[in-house]
Copies of this chain bind each other. A is one copy, B any other.
């Protein structure tokens, strides 16, 4: 019954294992003959080594297909392992259900992208040229170094990395991030103030659930980070959009307005407009938060990718009132699918944040955390940031030059100090539909600025990303767009 193929890629012992297993499953052995030939006899019959048979037998033993009786030999197990694993299928057909009720909060969350225009899955397919904002150049990530460090930490820490891990996050990683933030971002933090999270959205959700009850107000920038709005609605908060001026979020409330419990800002690079929050606005915001018993959530978006001069210290570093919850993500610096970020919070909040995290989803992948700690501690993190900053600076300069040359008659490009995207304002408001249609036709996907607006009424504009594409790809897209617009 057994046919072994010596030319096959599959090792002989695997072939033998698989064929015996399938024979047992098919029931051929059930008629009384439940004793299995000895490995010596089977090896001789099949003309293979006894070791090969032994390997196959030991796998069948381990999985519960065979059992040994001392001095009597090897028998087919009864019942076979499948019988413990396989439930019978019901034959009844389900009725056609009526539409289920969805919670108010789930219904209140806006879709992630206008009219599903942006299917991240389709972008994943890597069509290459699209100029969608928010994409880093992942093809420049040194994945081979990352994988090498991963195998080092696995070799060193072994099974400890497979067990349940701390909801606070890996200790080495928290130390590495505290040092980085202290050295570069002007932050003031101890590793015990750090919580490792699964990205920026989880950072916001954990914070909101820790601090807010249903209906309590959160201020967000308008226009602003669309996911912030979605997360705070999910958390049950009342989302209050606040306008922006050149210095950042405009702080102020009308006479009857309740004070905020939380204020979400992106001071390093306002998303999507790109201005850096001024120093005066920073101190005013902190004073306001202190006076109103509110917290400031500082999303230090694109802090690492500045092009025109030294950064301002983060809000966390100049906060005298312990009102700042600072958060960062590895998505833009390393790669988005890693799903790692961090929160720095005042000491008195940390235990509550950890409690929410442990309830929500326990912790982030322990192996990824340990690998990231090593990546930072061995200098690869800083080196990668510097390399990417230079590469993005070149792409940015190229994009500006080409864009103004090819599309300067239709758009006014606004050039921020930091970040991987540009707002391009239409010179003629009536151009909007035409540009949107042209982009759709040729597969270029800048976001309409209106997508980021709640109450804000801004002139029509599009937000272009440039970070993930080479100069050649950028030129190709811009040429296509210019020619489609005629």
Choice from B92, B100, B323 contacting A349 with Cβ under 8 Å:
B100
Q: Does A135 contact B (CB under 8 A)?
A: yes
What are the residues of chain B within 8 A of A111 when measuring CB–CB? 355
Is the Cβ of B85 less than 8 Å from the Cβ of A163? no
Bits for A28-64, please: 1 = Cβ < 8 Å to B, else 0.
0000000000000000000000000000000100111
Is the Cβ of A359 less than 8 Å from the Cβ of B234? yes
Choice from B59, B103, B210 contacting A212 with Cβ under 8 Å:
B103
What are the residues of chain B within 8 A of A360 when measuring CB–CB? 201-202, 205, 231, 234
Q: Does A280 contact B (CB under 8 A)?
A: no
Is the Cβ of B348 less than 8 Å from the Cβ of A365? no
What are the residues of chain B within 8 A of A112 when measuring CB–CB? 355, 358-359
The stretch among A242-250, A330-338, A438-446, A450-458 that forms the contact with chain B is A330-338
Is the Cβ of B337 less than 8 Å from the Cβ of A385? no
What are the residues of chain B within 8 A of A81 when measuring CB–CB? 386, 389-390
**Are A359 and B186 also in contact (CB < 8 A) when A85-B306, A161-B337, A163-B123 are?**
no
Choice from B165, B307, B337 contacting A367 with Cβ under 8 Å:
B337
CA distance in complex: A303, B309 (Å):
59
Q: Does A221 contact B (CB under 8 A)?
A: no
Q: Does A70 contact B (CB under 8 A)?
A: no
CA distance in complex: A453, B293 (Å):
38
What are the residues of chain B within 8 A of A141 when measuring CB–CB? 159, 162
Is the Cβ of B213 less than 8 Å from the Cβ of A103? yes
CA distance in complex: A161, B126 (Å):
11
Is the Cβ of A198 less than 8 Å from the Cβ of B154? no
The stretch among A312-320, A399-407, A427-435, A472-480 that forms the contact with chain B is A312-320
Q: Does A236 contact B (CB under 8 A)?
A: yes
What are the residues of chain B within 8 A of A199 when measuring CB–CB? 361-362
Q: Does A13 contact B (CB under 8 A)?
A: no
- CB of A376, distance to nearest CB on chain B (Å): 14
CA distance in complex: A211, B348 (Å):
33
Is the Cβ of A143 less than 8 Å from the Cβ of B154? yes
CA distance in complex: A13, B359 (Å):
48
Q: Does A447 contact B (CB under 8 A)?
A: no
Q: Does A115 contact B (CB under 8 A)?
A: no
Is the Cβ of B309 less than 8 Å from the Cβ of A83? yes
Is the Cβ of A85 less than 8 Å from the Cβ of B184? yes
What are the residues of chain B within 8 A of A310 when measuring CB–CB? 79, 83-84, 86-88
What are the residues of chain B within 8 A of A165 when measuring CB–CB? 120-121, 124, 337
Q: Does A281 contact B (CB under 8 A)?
A: no
Q: Does A230 contact B (CB under 8 A)?
A: yes
- CB of A70, distance to nearest CB on chain B (Å): 16
Most B Cβ at <10 Å: residue of A210, A331, A358, A361:
A361
Is the Cβ of A186 less than 8 Å from the Cβ of B124? no
A-B complex: 5 closest residue pairs judged by Cβ atoms: A97-B322, A87-B186, A337-B366, A63-B386, A162-B335
Q: Using CB atoms and an 8 Å cutoff, list the residues of chain A in contact with chain B.
A: 59, 62-65, 79, 81, 83-90, 92-95, 97, 99-106, 109, 111-112, 120-121, 123-126, 135, 138-139, 141, 143, 147, 151, 154, 159-166, 182-186, 188, 198-199, 201-202, 205, 209-214, 227, 230-231, 233-234, 236, 293, 295, 304, 306-307, 309-314, 317-323, 331, 335-339, 346, 348-349, 352, 355-356, 358-368, 383, 385-387, 389-391, 393
Can you name 13 A-B residue pairings with CB atoms under 8 Å? A62-B387, A85-B386, A95-B321, A102-B210, A103-B209, A112-B359, A121-B166, A124-B160, A138-B163, A143-B154, A162-B338, A337-B365, A365-B365
